[in-house]
């Protein structure tokens, strides 16, 4: 059932830019239009591109913010989230904790 | 003979109806929500759009390109390794693996970690295990990763908890004692939920999902809103999702308030303001499915309630659309024709910010 929702209405997470839009909704309480505007401006794409796997695949790999397939050498986990922090201008809790650990 | 279209009953059974009969059910469902909530019904154009979605010839439908919304997830990886009681499919996998499957294979926009019992109270004895699992999940995952559980105040009453069961007290006409028990359970629940989330935030958790707020009535909502307020004060950047259990807050206590508003009897468009005031980032409004009515009636009713909540809300609304809510049939394997139609209607007519 969750997959049916994702296919019908979802932004497909890391396949496109769903995780980035969701992060802005959660971190800044942005409504859907504002969150999409914010992320698309940061990425330099249109709002419709945010759900377009073809467009987002290349952008995600270029920015090293995590890609859906397992590409050797690409940032994963906290490393990818640290790049997302820089892209969106937000702090992510686990990245803060990681920085505290290595300080 | 009029052309008939297939749709579903609220229990998932396939039925066939004429376009006129489907429209009559949509109108009746919308009218029921409008009457109960004292909110506007859908317009004729909106009902026509819903009719088009329901009678669409394809097995699966989807939103127009560009209208996609984030899909948040409750229950966590229990969906993968859990038993039938949690709608799990029983695949032996760690919660990290289950979460990564959601991220990498299913295309989930957010994920959450949940304890197998999926209530806050039983998390307390195993908090270190939950912290360790959350830490490993955060090290490996990219999408937002919350911790989710049910406030479930029912666990705080006898025979499962320390407070006398308000149902038993009410049967003995001990009304004030029942109210006191509900309030005491709520206060205990606040301490537990805040304590648990303090520890999970300490290991890098993104935030919290309060799942099925109000399931045990207004005491449940009292505890949840006060927990949200305390957590927001301590963790200004924490992600907080406030998801409801039903469209109406049941008045088990009847007089509990939050911010000067009596909680009993609140409908979604009245609940959302309190969730935002408490400090939630996202609100999950709910409308339960009536299994004896058609999916047209249930969807009309549900979209009417949700549209009203979305319009009243100062924060994003991610409508709850699991089994038996949001116009979805009430069974563990809801047919995808019904799921995708409800999904599209909720985004394109109610204007929800997410699911």
- The model's pLDDT over B288-321, given as tens digits with 9 standing for 90+, comes to 999 999 999 999 999 999 999 999 999 999 999 9
**Which residues of chain B make contact with A47, given a CB cutoff of 8 A?**
66
| A53 contact partners, CB below 8 Å, separation of at least 6 | A12, A15, A16
Q: Looking at beta carbons, which residues of chain A come within 8 Å of B316?
A: 25, 29-32, 35
Burial class of residue B58 (count of CB atoms within 10 Å of its CB; 0-12, 13-18, 19+): exposed
**Is A14–B316 a contact, with Cβ atoms under 8 angstroms apart?**
no
Mean pLDDT of chain A: 96
Which residues on B lie below 8 Å from A38 (Cβ)?
A: none
DSSP lists the bridge partners of residue B209 as: B148, B241
Predicted structure pTM score: 0.96
Rounded to whole angstroms, the Cα distance separating A30 from B315 reads: 7
Model confidence at B157, in pLDDT bands (50, 70, 90)? very high
pLDDT digits (tens, 9 = 90+) for B173-183: 999 999 999 99
How many Cβ pairs closer than 8 A exist between chain A and B? 188
Mutate to test the interface with B, among A1, A7, A49 (most CBs of B within 10 A): A1
pLDDT at A2 over 90: no
Per the CB < 8 Å rule, is B347 touching A18? no
ipTM reported for the complex, 2 dp: 0.98
Query: B 185-244 residues with CB below 8 A of A?
Result: 201-207, 237-239, 241
For residue range A32-82, what is the model confidence (pLDDT) as tens digits?
999 999 999 999 999 999 999 999 999 999 999 999 998 999 999 999 999
* Chain A nearest-CA residue for B140: A77
Q: Do A8 and B340 touch (CB under 8 A)?
A: yes
Q: Is the pLDDT of residue A18 over 80?
A: yes
Strands (E) in chain A, as ranges, are none
Q: What is the dihedral of CA B94, B98, B103, B106, to 10 degrees?
A: 160
For B354, the closest of A32, A94, A95 (CB atoms) is A32
- Please indicate whether, in this complex, the C-beta atoms of A4 and B60 are within 8 angstroms of each other: yes
CB contact under 8 A, A3 and B68: no
Rounded CA separation B51/B60 (Å)? 15
Q: What is the pLDDT of residue B197?
A: 98
Q: Is B118 strand, coil or helix?
A: coil
SS3 percent helix, strand, coil of chain A, rounded to 5, is 70, 0, 30
Q: Which residues of A touch B107 (CB under 8 A)?
A: 3, 6, 10, 12-15, 18, 68
- Measured between CB atoms, does B99 come within 8 Å of chain A? no
Using an 8 Å Cβ cutoff, are A9 and B348 in contact?
A: no
């Amino acid at each position: 059932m969750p997959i049916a929702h994702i296919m019908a209405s979802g932004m497909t997470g890391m396949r496109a830019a769903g995780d980035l839009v969701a992060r802005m909704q959660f971190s800044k309480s942005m409504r859907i239009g504002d969150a999409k505007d914010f992320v698309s401006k940061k990425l330099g794409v249109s709002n419709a591109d945010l759900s377009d796997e073809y467009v987002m695949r290349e952008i995600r790999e270029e920015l090293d913010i995590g890609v859906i397939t397992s590409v050797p050498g690409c940032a994963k986990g906290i490393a990818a989230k640290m790049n997302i922090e820089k892209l969106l201008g937000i702090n992510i809790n686990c990245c803060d904790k990681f920085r505290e650990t290595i300080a | 003979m009029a052309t008939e279209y297939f749709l579903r009953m609220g229990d998932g059974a396939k039925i066939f109806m004429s376009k006129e009969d489907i429209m009559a059910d949509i109108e009746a469902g919308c009218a029921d929500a409008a009457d109960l909530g004292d909110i506007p019904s859908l317009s004729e154009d909106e009902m026509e759009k819903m009719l088009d979605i329901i009678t669409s010839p394809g097995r699966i439908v989807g939103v127009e390109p560009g209208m996609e919304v984030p899909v948040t997830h409750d229950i966590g990886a229990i969906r993968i390794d859990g038993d039938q009681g949690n709608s799990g499919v029983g695949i032996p996998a760690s919660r990290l693996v289950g979460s990564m499957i959601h991220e990498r294979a299913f295309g989930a926009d957010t994920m959450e970690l949940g304890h197998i019992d999926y209530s806050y109270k039983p998390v307390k004895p195993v908090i270190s295990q939950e912290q360790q699992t959350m830490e490993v999940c955060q090290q490996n995952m990219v999408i937002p990763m919350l911790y989710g559980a049910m406030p479930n105040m029912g666990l705080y009453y006898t025979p499962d908890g320390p407070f006398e069961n308000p149902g038993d007290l009410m049967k003995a006409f001990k009304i004030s004692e029942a109210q006191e028990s509900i309030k005491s359970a709520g206060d205990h629940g606040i301490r537990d939920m805040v304590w648990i989330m303090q520890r999970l935030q300490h290991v890098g958790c993104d935030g919290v999902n309060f799942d099925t707020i109000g399931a045990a009535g207004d005491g449940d909502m009292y505890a949840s809103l006060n927990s949200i307020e305390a957590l927001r004060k301590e963790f200004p950047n924490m992600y907080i999702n406030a998801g409801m259990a039903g469209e109406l807050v049941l008045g088990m206590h009847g007089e509990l308030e939050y911010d000067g508003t009596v909680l009993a009897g609140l409908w979604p468009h009245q609940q959302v303001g309190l969730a935002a005031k408490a400090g939630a980032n996202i609100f999950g409004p709910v409308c339960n499915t009536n299994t004896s009515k058609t999916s047209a009636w249930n969807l009309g009713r549900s979209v009417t309630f949700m549209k009203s909540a979305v319009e009243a809300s100062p924060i994003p609304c991610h409508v709850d659309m699991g089994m038996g809510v949001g116009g979805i049939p009430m069974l563990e394997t809801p047919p995808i024709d019904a799921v995708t139609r409800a999904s599209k209607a909720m985004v394109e007519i109610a204007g929800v910010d997410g699911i």
